[in-house]
Amino acid sequence: MTTAEYTLARLRREYPGWRIRRSRNGYRLAGWVATNLRDDDRAPTLHGDTAEELEQQLKDPPQRAGRPFPALRAHP
């Protein structure tokens, strides 16, 4: 397991309320991304150029900038 793979596994283990992955630039791995899996008042997505930058945000995620869209209802 590479250092990046170990770091990704650790972040996923330590922050279970987030879906954490690497972004890509073409075929190369690029930044680090976390998607909030909870319906709360925290930002829905975090992004860092490094794992350390992302983890700093995960420790204290910023507030959501807006409100989520209400559930859409089908018309009869």
Q: Amino acid identity of 40?
A: D
| CA-to-CA dists, residue 75 to 2, 64, 72, angstroms | 51, 30, 9
pTM to 2 decimal places: 0.80
- The pLDDT confidence band at residue 65, using thresholds 50, 70 and 90, is confident
Q: Is the pLDDT of residue 44 over 90?
A: yes
CA torsion angle for 43, 10, 51, 33 (degrees, to 10)?
-40
Q: Higher model confidence: residue 44 or residue 72?
A: 44
pLDDT in tens, 8-39: 999 999 999 999 999 999 999 899 999 999 98
Looking at residue 70, its pLDDT comes to 67
